[in-house]
Structure 1
Amino acid sequence: MAFAGAAATTAGATAGALPAQAAGAVVPGFLHGVASGDPLPDGILLWTRVTPSADAVPGSGVGADVAVKWEVAEDSGFHRVAARGSVITGAARDHTVKVAAHGLRPGTTYWYRFIVAGVTSATGRTRTAPAAGTAVQRLRMGVVSCANWQAGYFSAYRHLADRGDLDVVLHLGDYLYEYGPGEYQARDVVVRPHDPAVEMTTLSHYRRRHAQYKTDLELQALHAAVPFVVTWDDHESANDAWSGGAENHTEGVEGSWASRQAASQQAYAEWMPVRYEPGGHLYRRFSYGALASISMLDLRSYRSQQASNMVDPAIGDPARTLTGAAQMDWLLDGFSGAETQWKLIGNPVMIAPVRFPSTLSAREVGAVSQLLGSTTIDGVPYNVDQWDGYTADRSRVISHLRDNAITDAVFLTGDIHSSWACDVPADPLTYPSNGASVAAELVCTSVTSDNLDDILGTQPRTASVAVEEAFKAANPHVKYLDFDSHGFSVLEVTPGALRMDWYVLSDRTSRAATSTLSASWQVAAGTQAVSRVL
């Protein structure tokens, strides 16, 4: 079936230019690649964007409706077609196409493509999930977050695409950024400017920015190689977004938050390979046989405003929420009712508590606060944008895991442009003397977005090293921390253990960046604790 868009673009939207790759391109054509996502045992979601005419650029609201054929085959030559169909797309959904292909076999690799007016898209490869209850010996996924176009090139995506051994890619948010050129990038250097050349606030803006990111050839290669499972964090709409606003939104001057949020969510629904449409909910769950479930959280749509210029008790006010009531119930029910061994949570912001060391200089506190999305309340830094700022909700999760003896729960987190391996203590004040860790948390670093060394203006692995050691000393449940490196992670899940490998890029501003394995940490089955492998 096709996923219909919610509304046409706003009147008077400014049309963007065709991508650089489109110069001299055949029209109609496929300029933004192909993608797949949200794998089920019997189906997969397929995505592309059609450019039916030279004027039908993203965000323009221009262009005729077109019929798009799609095919899914058991071989790359499409000799054994498993499913096919045709859908109509048009300006109402920015000429994007989403198809839910059904009737496929579990745990099977397929190839897919789209055809419009005799023009065929690139071929994508995807894979369905194993059947429910199936004994699965291994699940391997790429884990990424925080890819800022202006701060560098997406070499991390290229390295993941070249592996050829991934079942899925988990994108934990900040797939794109809202800022205009010069507002947020690599050490105040715009490696490549955003389009449109303004902060995105309207539907046309969000569509054009999604389109720009989808012209990146390394991102296209990864989408074409592996299915994605995604969630958003804040920059898909605006920095530090909450249900009623955002730090980077000025009500009235930039329109209403309700309109801006709706525009960002509509563009996300149109341009991402995700089983989400405006009016529904983004949080959802996938299973890989009896081995693992993946629960993807939405921690922006329902949250209360972050604590700011308030006294400390606001942090733990039970009237404030990060998840919203319905999503919290869904999350806890998923733990208790899980029919899989590993309970993986796609978690956009960090859940393990983080206490700021008292030994940091004012400059270091400021830099780390900028990195972690923190603020200072009564002179004490708090991670108010993370679960640290919503301790009543976190207590519900931790109590549920502890009281119900839930095992093998692992939070997979993005957002903070750094790499962490942590225990999640039942009580951080008595950890580790009581030995109680209810879960583990593994945090991937940024693809390109600024890290601590970028904020401090220092060389990597110099000034940040002492800050890392101070944080680990102040937080004994934090076992591994790298504040500096850009890159990606690879997660391997087996019945005996879950392991994350962190890979760092040589230079995010180089198209030819290499990658190096920097660290490996695991969670042995039944332990709820991280331990070092490499």
Structure 2
Amino acid sequence: MIYRPSRRALLGGLVAAPVFLPGLARAAELGFADFPFTLGVSAGDALPDGFVLWTRLAPDPLAPHGGMPMAPVPVNWEVAEDDGFRTIVAKGQETAWPELGHSVHAEVSGLKPGRPYWYRFRCGGELSLAGRAATLPAPGTTVDRVRFAAAGCQHFESGYYTAYRHLAEENDLDFVFHYGDYIYEYSAGVALNGLHQPIDPVRRYLGREPYSLDDYRLRYAQTTLDSDMQAARAAHPWFVSYDDHEVQNNWTGDTDKDDTPAALFRLRRAAALQAWYEHMPVRRSAMPDATGLVEFRRRFDYGTLLRGHLLNTRLYRSDQPCGDGFKPLCTPMTGDVLGRPQEAWLDQGLATSRQRWQLIAQQVMVAAPDRRTPEHDGPQPTFNMDSWAGYPLAQRRLFDRFAAHRPGNIVVVTGDEHQNWANDLVRDDGRIVASEFVATSISSGGDGYDTRPGNDEIMRHNSFVKWTNDRRGYLLTEVTPDAWTGDFRTVAAVSTAGAPVRTAARWQVAAGQAGLRAG
């Protein structure tokens, strides 16, 4: 749920008077044409003593600069131990700079570990809606349960964000993992189903394909105005990553799909990743550097129960082999997905962990199913070159890394496919080294099918694929010392708003027992 301030809180003046710095526009003098917090609030990137609070001032969010003056603006924030804001435990002021789209990233610290908090912002006499955040447990704390959701792939034109409304209403989530594709860079009017056939857009993007910072800001503003989206961002703390559509479909490193000179593509990537930073609850360390890079990967611990490794599978990846697409493997297949420094970072994180479970949170499917169907058959196995399947040597190193991990109990959570998948990850010697839950899209691909045409054939040819489904929704996960349980939550339609949610399937991994089993 969204935690909304009471009328008493709205009128009570609970935030201290701002301290104005030289050159800052006084909020009372701004004369906002409308409510400045139209894009809502969000929190994330937690530590044991704090988290990041996010908002962006945008009284006219679809106008140039969000309707803001070209001046820095002070924004006050406060954190409470209760949703009524009776016990304020932290407060402060951040500057919303025009260079960053008047976004705010308040890094709160000094809080108690392992508990929820509530937060809100004030600017220009206006008070934002409230959101819920949470700190991580103190290191070494015994934790009996972690609950989280995984979601992403939310093409605005392909469907309504009904699944986010249901996600907002899930109780007691410790966090949401957003695996990327928050926006899509497609030109307006381009909506496709899972078979790459055109479908009628349910709503339209403003503007054409984005290239400039202003173009990308418009995409983010239009997406984030969605009330279901805002509900999910306010109700739970988030860990976020980016995938390809935040920049351009299937980009990797310095390479795009149009053979744009690398120096020019880096300009577009810099604009796109700055806009991503401006709209995500991430720390200032994730702000693009002078070259436009966002060196983004993250590790987080939930006491003795769970260590999370949030990977980056775009920035350091080699170009897709074989010309990209779905096709047989070609040679040589020597590319990287993570890059060697990130592989070493993952090694170090696994080697030093004493947690019972390891979460590998990343963007593209690790399993490598043969994609041949009766409609698209051929003499050789066919693979998705934009997944780990296109990088078999990198996949083999990953599986060896999993096999060498001391406690075992590794689970991968993935997005990108616009389908639900439950996969076991099997090494060449037949050993199951991990399992993978692939979460479907929020809206990308339209309404979908209970089973996409051809998927029965795919399952017959790939024994490690235990289940697949082509509806929209999110993955709901509960982790205990004994088991890892994934509920695939789906809605029947996104072409109309308000569809109910159901659990389409439940799959589970038992602690110390390799392989998926039906829940």
* Normalised TM-score (structure 1): 0.84
CA positional deviation for 1:246: 1.9
Structure 2: how far apart are the matches of 1:258 and 1:425?
A: 37
Does the CA contact (< 8 Å) of 1:52 and 1:63 recur in 2? no
Query: Which one-letter code corresponds to 1:345 in the other structure?
Result: I
Does the CA contact (< 8 Å) of 1:422 and 1:440 recur in 2? yes
- 2:264 is aligned to 256
CA positional deviation for 1:497: 0.3
- 2:322 is aligned to 308
Does the CA contact (< 8 Å) of 2:329 and 2:382 recur in 1? no
Structure 1: how far apart are the matches of 2:39 and 2:213?
A: 18
Q: Runs of 5+ in structure 1 lacking a partner?
A: 1-23, 366-375, 455-459
* Alpha-carbon spacing, 1:515–1:28, altered in 2? closer, same or farther (3 Å): closer
3-state secondary structure, aligned to 2:169: helix
Structure 1: how far apart are the matches of 2:87 and 2:133?
A: 15
- 1:468 is aligned to 455
Q: Does 1:531 align with 2:517?
A: yes
Question: 174, 196, 221: which is aligned to 1:211?
Answer: 221
CA positional deviation for 1:172: 0.9
Structure 2: how far apart are the matches of 1:424 and 1:145?
A: 22
Question: 192, 199, 204: which is aligned to 2:203?
Answer: 192
Structure 2: how far apart are the matches of 1:125 and 1:157?
A: 16
Structure 1: how far apart are the matches of 2:118 and 2:452?
A: 47
3-state secondary structure, aligned to 1:149: coil
CA positional deviation for 1:55: 9.8
Task: Please list, as runs of the form range in 1=range in 2, the aligned pairs for 1:353-502 lying within 5 A after superposition.
Answer: 353-357=368-372, 360-362=374-376, 380-427=381-428, 431=430, 436-450=431-445, 460-461=449-450, 464=453, 467-482=454-469, 484-502=470-488
Does the CA contact (< 8 Å) of 2:61 and 2:221 recur in 1? no
CA positional deviation for 1:58: 3.8
Q: Runs of 5+ in structure 2 lacking a partner?
A: 1-30
CA positional deviation for 1:177: 0.7
Structure 1: how far apart are the matches of 2:416 and 2:305?
A: 26
Does the CA contact (< 8 Å) of 2:57 and 2:68 recur in 1? no
3-state secondary structure, aligned to 2:191: coil
Query: Which one-letter code corresponds to 1:352 in the other structure?
Result: A
Question: 301, 317, 321: which is aligned to 1:287?
Answer: 301
CA positional deviation for 1:118: 1.5
* Alpha-carbon spacing, 1:327–1:77, altered in 2? closer, same or farther (3 Å): same
3-state secondary structure, aligned to 2:322: coil
CA positional deviation for 1:360: 2.0
Query: Which one-letter code corresponds to 1:257 in the other structure?
Result: F
Q: CA deviation digits over 1:267-324, x for unaligned, max 9?
A: 111111123111352111111111101111111111111012499453532xx21111
- 2:154 is aligned to 147
- 1:92 is aligned to 99
- 1:10 is aligned to none
Does the CA contact (< 8 Å) of 2:409 and 2:434 recur in 1? yes
Does the CA contact (< 8 Å) of 1:27 and 1:54 recur in 2? no
Q: Does 1:230 align with 2:240?
A: yes
- 1:340 is aligned to 355
Q: CA RMSD in A?
A: 2.4
Does the CA contact (< 8 Å) of 1:207 and 1:267 recur in 2? yes
CA positional deviation for 1:401: 2.0
CA positional deviation for 1:176: 1.3
3-state secondary structure, aligned to 1:130: coil
* Alpha-carbon spacing, 1:66–1:423, altered in 2? closer, same or farther (3 Å): same
Structure 2: how far apart are the matches of 1:134 and 1:516?
A: 34
Structure 2: how far apart are the matches of 1:341 and 1:411?
A: 14
3-state secondary structure, aligned to 1:308: helix
Structure 1: how far apart are the matches of 2:451 and 2:171?
A: 35
Question: 113, 122, 134: which is aligned to 2:120?
Answer: 113
Structure 1: how far apart are the matches of 2:192 and 2:381?
A: 28
* 492-501 or 45-54, which deviates more: 45-54
CA positional deviation for 1:211: 1.1
CA positional deviation for 1:28: 5.5
CA positional deviation for 1:46: 0.3
Structure 2: how far apart are the matches of 1:231 and 1:103?
A: 25
Does the CA contact (< 8 Å) of 2:33 and 2:60 recur in 1? no
Query: Which one-letter code corresponds to 1:410 in the other structure?
Result: V
Structure 2: how far apart are the matches of 1:209 and 1:155?
A: 19
Structure 2: how far apart are the matches of 1:54 and 1:213?
A: 11
Structure 2: how far apart are the matches of 1:177 and 1:122?
A: 27
* Alpha-carbon spacing, 1:69–1:463, altered in 2? closer, same or farther (3 Å): closer
* Normalised TM-score (structure 2): 0.87
CA positional deviation for 1:62: 4.8
Structure 2: how far apart are the matches of 1:245 and 1:135?
A: 45
Task: Please list, as runs of the form range in 1=range in 2, the aligned pairs for 1:126-145 lying within 5 A after superposition.
Answer: 126-145=133-152
Q: CA deviation digits over 1:305-363, x for unaligned, max 9?
A: 1012499453532xx21111111111121111112111101110011121234x5223x
Does the CA contact (< 8 Å) of 2:60 and 2:67 recur in 1? no
Does the CA contact (< 8 Å) of 2:48 and 2:135 recur in 1? yes
* Alpha-carbon spacing, 1:343–1:462, altered in 2? closer, same or farther (3 Å): closer
3-state secondary structure, aligned to 1:503: strand
Does the CA contact (< 8 Å) of 2:62 and 2:221 recur in 1? no
Query: Which one-letter code corresponds to 1:401 in the other structure?
Result: F
Query: Percent identical across equivalent pairs?
Result: 36
Query: Which one-letter code corresponds to 2:466 in the other structure?
Result: K
Does the CA contact (< 8 Å) of 2:216 and 2:275 recur in 1? yes
Does the CA contact (< 8 Å) of 1:304 and 1:321 recur in 2? yes
Structure 1: how far apart are the matches of 2:301 and 2:337?
A: 24
